[in-house]
Amino acid sequence: MNIISQIASDHLRMDLPQFKSGDNVKVHLRIVEGEKERIQIFQGNVIRLHRGSSNGTFTVRKVSDGVGVERIFPLHSPFIDRIELVTEGRVRRSRLYYLRKLKGKAARIKPKSRW
């Protein structure tokens, strides 16, 4: 094992929940403002997952005041306090870029049934 992958494996997070594209998640971010620190929540649908050892990312999309907002988070970032899985969505694709064109009820993702 080379030294770079060994250093990267030391910083991997093991407390992440299992989520996939279409799931609704709450990402609790640690925000530092001056000398104070607070937690800010970003809740939305996961539209993309990019798996990787230390450089994996996921994209979360929400609609805020009628404007779509997307944010890309590194999976193993120290600024992420925790990730909370709210609902599991039933989708047939791994990249949900088509949601960018939809509005209102058309942009909803059906919840996954437990049966």
Beta strands in 75-111 (DSSP E): 80-87
Lookup result for tokens 């925000």: 31
Q: What is the mean pLDDT of each run of 10 residues along the chain (115 residues)?
A: 79 88 96 95 96 88 93 93 94 94 92 78
CA distance 107 to 88: 15
Q: Is the pTM of this model over 0.85?
A: yes
pLDDT at 71: 96
